[in-house]
Amino acid sequence: MSTETIHRSCPTCEASCGLVMEVDREARQVISIKGDPDNHRSRGYVCAKSQAFRYIYEDPERLTRPVRKVNGQWQEISWEEALSETAQRLADIRDQYGKDAIAMYYGNPNGHNFSTQIYTQMFISLLDTERFFSAGSVDQQPKNLSCELMYGNGWVFPIPDIDHSDFFVCMGGNPMVSQGSLMSAPDIESRLKGLQQRGGKVVVIDPRRTETADIADQHLFVRPGTDAFLLMAFVNELFATGRVAPGRLQDFTDGIETLESLSAPYTPEAVAAITGVPAAQLRQLVNEFCSASAPVLYGRIGLCTQQFGTLASWLVDVVNILTGRLDARGGAMFARPATAHNDPASAPPALGYNRWQSRARGFPEYMGMLPASLMAEEMELQGEHQVRALITVAGNPVLSVPNGKRIHAAMEQLDFIVAFDFYINETTSAADIIIPSTTQLEHSNYDFLFSSTCVRNFAQYSPQTFAPDPGALDQYQILNEVTARMNGMSASDLEAMMLDGLIGQLLANAPALSHLSVDDIKLKTAGHQGPERLLDIMLRAGPYGDKFAGDGLTLAQLKELPHGIDLGPLEPRLPELLATANKRINIVPDVITRDIPRLQAALDTGPGDDMLLIGRRHIRDMNSWLHNLNNYARGKNRCTLLINPQDAERIGLVDAGMAKITSRVGAFEAEVHTSDSIMPGVVSLPHGFGHTYRDTRQSVATTLTPGVSANDLVDDNEMDLPSGTSVVNGVPVTITPAL
């Protein structure tokens, strides 16, 4: 056996920790994966998920060739058959029924694949369907919307500068498990403990005493779905105590005075009953926050996936702006990716909002997408606007989207379904054709998306480890082939379009490159091909790049830096980063403030009597991705109903017994786990389980981790209205003993 050492980043979660792999290329075998002690970001740290991409590669049930369903049975077919038939079927449906007869769902794993991200936009553009759905509307879309409205770019996220903060308030996030969602931070535990060792304080506000709350200095229970009330009261208290101090942000921020009147009804006393947070505790929090030297407020998925997700996400930034903590050291700052993909364009883009509406309900699109909660009703629609085909790309909406059983049933009436995936799971099992892509070990990668959510700027290239099987295609190649064939083109035509389009965009937006021509840049990057050529162009044109001459970052240079490159701490970027028309922050955008009457109506109504369901994360889970991996699936049942002992006693439940959970749209039974870590009146189920469909080919998942799908209890009629994000936290349920 001949072993080789390879350095790369982990592609499983946002932290992108550095790894050292020992591999036998000839045998195409991974010997070991460990943390890279020389990686400046993770310094040898890894979590349990660091082995996931190896286990996926080794999974005998992973598809490596396309399959077609024939009389209910899967049969392997050639790559040419799969691509040709898929393109022809989709083109025929488009030509006969129109482009919107094709729906598409785009899953979360694509965010971890550079080449897929880069080429997807062209695929979507040429497909041109208004029935585009993604995992974003069950995740971060309220943050996209609030950021776009205030900063002009939905992908410009304020990131806690955690390494320089002395007072960290975490709402609706659990970074000890997620490693910092929209706050990419390897070894977050060391970072939080470092903050405490500097004399700082960590406060967690959550309906559950999470793993992060366990190491925090203070934990406050808050009733699910009421974070916007709490944050409005925070703003109210800032004005009431004369603590509004935006500092230099005042010079380019409009609407601050309006916030005082908007927040007037939301005193700490007025919101105490609905939030469950006593007025005195909230006032103490505001006082301590404002008294700290470098405080920062952070909110994540628990704030996004609730009835007032956009308001809550917006208010996190409002608090940081009003206290001068946006774009300030130790506050909420903006990363500077080496690829410059969050830099403002030369001309501010128009807001991509409500340009069309869903056919069944008339709900507005955002960012070219319709809410995933509308998938089933759009596919059920009959007549002129009927959906005839569905494309899924590395996604499992039957488990990941509200009321997944309804989605599964609606798929049965479609004429054609193709899945770009390497598992036969709860969604792809309904497909006519499945076309698998290569895995992370079979192609190179670059941490593109997460270089804009990092707590310290970095760049790292991950080389291809193993050559794929003959004929196997990367995900972007599958997208290109199908798109090209649908439109009477070749994949090479699309490659040329992508290259010319990227170069043209860069030349239009970068005055420093104005002396160059398209041909100049092509000539200087001819040593790379495909996605790597595009990456080289972006790196060289970016803020650390060589601008195609002289010194600076290039892909060739990055490849010679196996541990990645440290590009320094987060630095102030405002107002230059703003992509708004007037280079100013509008802190009270109309789209958001129009939703405040709905908030006021809920405050007037007050808290209800229902038990409220929330989700939770686990270190060995990543949505539904990892449940077919024996190393992660074994052990105790993780899909349990977490309930406070007071509620369990009142209802008549016992620990390790069974409970029936019922909502408006579904009911099932789950094992009970009692704990005072969950707020009274609240229950919790983890997301991504429910591997109970008989026609899948994931034997480990169905045997060891079947569980129940929490999303089958989530009402697909309930959404955060501005963004269309699913309300998966704060779902009213009834809990009874199982019969």
For the purposes of burial, counting CB atoms within 10 Å of the CB of 412, is it exposed (0-12), middle (13-18) or buried (19 or more)? exposed
Query: Is 562's pLDDT higher than 90?
Result: yes
| Contact yes or no for 731/661 (Cβ under 8 A) | no
Distance CA 174, CA 213 (A): 8
Q: What is the mean pLDDT of residues 548-568?
A: 96
Q: How confident is the model at residue 621 (pLDDT cuts 50, 70, 90)?
A: confident
Backbone angles phi, psi at 605, to 5 degrees: -70, -40
**Please, are residues 695 and 427 in contact by the beta-carbon 8 Å criterion?**
no
Query: In this predicted structure, which of 32-36, 389-393, 467-471, 617-621 has the lowest mean pLDDT?
Result: 617-621
pLDDT at 736 over 90: yes
Contacts of 680 (CB under 8 A, 6+ apart): 644, 646, 647
**341-347 LR contacts (CB < 8 Å, sep 24+):** 341/155, 341/448, 341/452, 341/538, 342/153, 342/155, 342/156, 342/452, 342/577, 343/509, 343/543, 343/577, 344/152, 344/153, 344/576, 344/577, 344/578, 344/579, 345/508, 345/509, 345/579, 346/508, 346/509
Distances (CA, A) of 572 to 168, 181, 184, 239, 366: 19, 21, 18, 26, 29
- CA count, 13 A, side-chain hemisphere, 616: 24
User: Is residue 435 over pLDDT 70?
Assistant: yes
User: What confidence score (pLDDT) does residue 131 get?
Assistant: 98
Q: Name the 3-class secondary structure at 523.
A: helix
Mean pLDDT of the chain: 96
Give the model's confidence band at 644: pLDDT under 50 very low, under 70 low, under 90 confident, else very high.
very high
Higher per-residue confidence, 96 vs 342: 96
At 639, list the tokens. 């899909």
Question: What tens digit of pLDDT does each residue of 49-88 get?
Answer: 999 999 999 999 999 999 999 999 999 999 999 999 999 9
For residues 494-511, average pLDDT: 92
Higher-confidence residue of 530 and 617: namely: 530
Longest dimension (CA), the chain: 76
Phi-psi region of 616 (alpha: psi -120 to 50; beta: other; left: phi over 0): beta
Mean of pLDDT values over 451-456: 96
Find, among 714, 713, 707, the residue nearest to 627 by Cα: 707
Per DSSP, 687 falls in state: S
Residue 414 has pLDDT above 70, yes or no: yes
pLDDT at 625 over 90: no
Cβ count within 10 A of residue 209: 18
- Confidence label for 1 from pLDDT (cuts 50, 70 and 90): low
Rounded to an integer, the average pLDDT of 723-734 is: 97
Give exposure, 484-510, as e/b (b: 16+ Cβ within 10 Å).
bbbeeeebeebbeebbeebbeebbeeb
pLDDT tens per residue across span 507-549 = 988 888 989 999 999 999 999 999 999 999 999 999 999 999 9
State the Cα–Cα distance between residues 550 and 699, nearest whole angstrom: 55
Q: Which domains does the chain have, with CATH numbers?
A: 150-340 (3.40.228.10), 609-737 (2.40.40.20)
Task: Classify 516 as helix, strand or coil.
Answer: coil
For 359-409, the pLDDT digits (tens) are: 999 999 999 999 999 999 999 999 999 999 999 999 999 999 999 999 999
Structure tokens belonging to residue 124: 């979507």
Helices (H) and strands (E) in the chain — how many of each?
26, 32
Tell me what pLDDT residue 739 has: 84
Q: Does residue 134 surpass a pLDDT of 80? A: yes
What is the distance between the alpha carbons of residues 333 and 327, in angstroms, rounded to a whole number?
Answer: 4
Cα separation, 222 vs 172, in Å, equals 10
β 641-643/667-674 pair status: parallel
Q: Looking up tokens 């998966």, which residue turns up?
A: 728
> Is the model's pLDDT at 41 over the cut of 80?
yes
Query: Rounded mean pLDDT of 237-262?
Result: 98
Residues 267-323 pLDDT 10s: 999 999 999 999 999 999 999 999 999 999 999 999 999 999 999 999 999 999 999
Share of the chain above pLDDT 90, in %: 93
**pLDDT, average across residues 215-222:** 98
pLDDT at position 346 over 80: no
What the block records as the tokens of 716 is 């697909």
Dihedral angle computed from the Cα positions of residues 99, 362, 229 and 137, in that order, rounded to the nearest 10 degrees: -20
* Of 138, 687, 699, 716, the residue nearest 404 (C-alpha): 716
Q: Is 663 helix (H, G, I), strand (E, B) or coil?
A: coil
Chain centre to alpha carbon of residue 507: 30
Written as one letter, the residue type at 356 is: W
